[in-house]
Amino acid sequence: MTDFYSTLALDEELPAVAGEQPRFYIVSRRKMAILYLATLGMYGIYWYYKNWACYNKHCPDAAQAGNGVWPIPRAIFSVFFTHDLFEKIKHHGRRSPLVAAWEHRSQATMLVILTLACNLLDRLSMREIGSPTTDILALLILLPILYTKLQAQEMINASCGDPTGETNASFSGANYAWTIIGSLWWGLILIGMRLPE
């Protein structure tokens, strides 16, 4: 299963400092925002996966026998693990004044609520319940979810010693491919919303 996510290659795992692997997933806020919006939020699943994979690989307590985490299930069922992830980020970056002042519990709760609301709106939209209102709301709710994740990413970058995410700010060929696919997807959605029933 890990090979599946590796083949998606949305991003390369890059160190914050040469020769040192980050404990969490570093990415610039700009790149994250573009990929998140271009993929209609699907990048968010990859974002969770990469954070848990980095944690599992590089954190000493996760490396102990029997104490590792499974990144794929934690990414898919992120609503159950968001608080835990944010707690680990806060602990790792506790020496940074920015991370130390971060209200990680309330932000995790907000992200879980927004994610559940997004899932509900998606299901209503797929069943054409409340259309076109639920269709529009399902798209609009991506913005507050992205905003919350961008705040968390700022804390991740700070805790890993790369506040701007400079080590993972450039776009790879796969990033451009996903952006183009996502743009076509957006086009189809907008055309579908304008067509008469």
3 state DSSP class of 20 = strand
Question: What's the mean pLDDT in 10-18?
Answer: 42
To the nearest whole number, what is the mean pLDDT of the chain? 85
| Residue 197 pLDDT greater than 70, yes or no | no
At 164, is the pLDDT very low, low, confident or very high (cuts 50, 70, 90)? very high
Long-range contacts of 103-108 (CB under 8 A, 24+ apart): 104/155, 107/148, 107/151, 107/152, 108/82, 108/83
Nearest to 148 by CA among 29, 49, 14, 12: 29
- How does DSSP classify residue 11? S
User: What pTM was computed for the model?
Assistant: 0.82
Beta strands in the chain, from DSSP E residues, in sequence order: none
pLDDT at residue 127, rounded to an integer: 87
| Angle made by CA atoms 51, 111, 141, in degrees to the nearest 5 | 115
85-123 pLDDT, tens digit each: 999 999 999 999 999 999 999 999 999 999 999 999 989
